[in-house]
Amino acid sequence: MQTQQKVIFISGSAKRLGAAIARFLHQQGYRIVLHCQHSLDDARTLQNELNEQRAGSVALVIGDLCNHDDLRRLSTEILAAFGRLDGLINNASGFYPTPVGHIEEQDWNNLMGSNAMAPLFLSQALSGELKRRQGTIINMVDIHAMRPLQQHTVYCMAKAALVNMTESLAVELAPDVRVNAIAPGAILWPSSEVPEQQKHDVLEKVPMQRLGDTDDITEAVNFLINANYVTGQILKVDGGRSLSGNGPF
What residues act catalytically?
155
Sequence-distant (≥ 6) Cβ neighbours of residue 178 within 8 angstroms: 135, 136, 137, 170, 224, 227, 228, 230, 231
Does residue 119 have a cis bond before it (omega within 30 degrees)?
no
Supply the DSSP string of 120-172, one letter for each residue: HHHHHHHHHHHHHTT-EEEEE--GGGTSPPTTBHHHHHHHHHHHHHHHHHHHH
What is the rounded CA–CA span in Å between residue 19 and residue 36?
11
Contact 232, 167 (CB under 8 A): yes
**Residue (of 200, 205, 199, 198) closest to 240 by Cα position:** 205
Q: Are strands 178-184 and 136-140 parallel, antiparallel or unpaired?
A: parallel
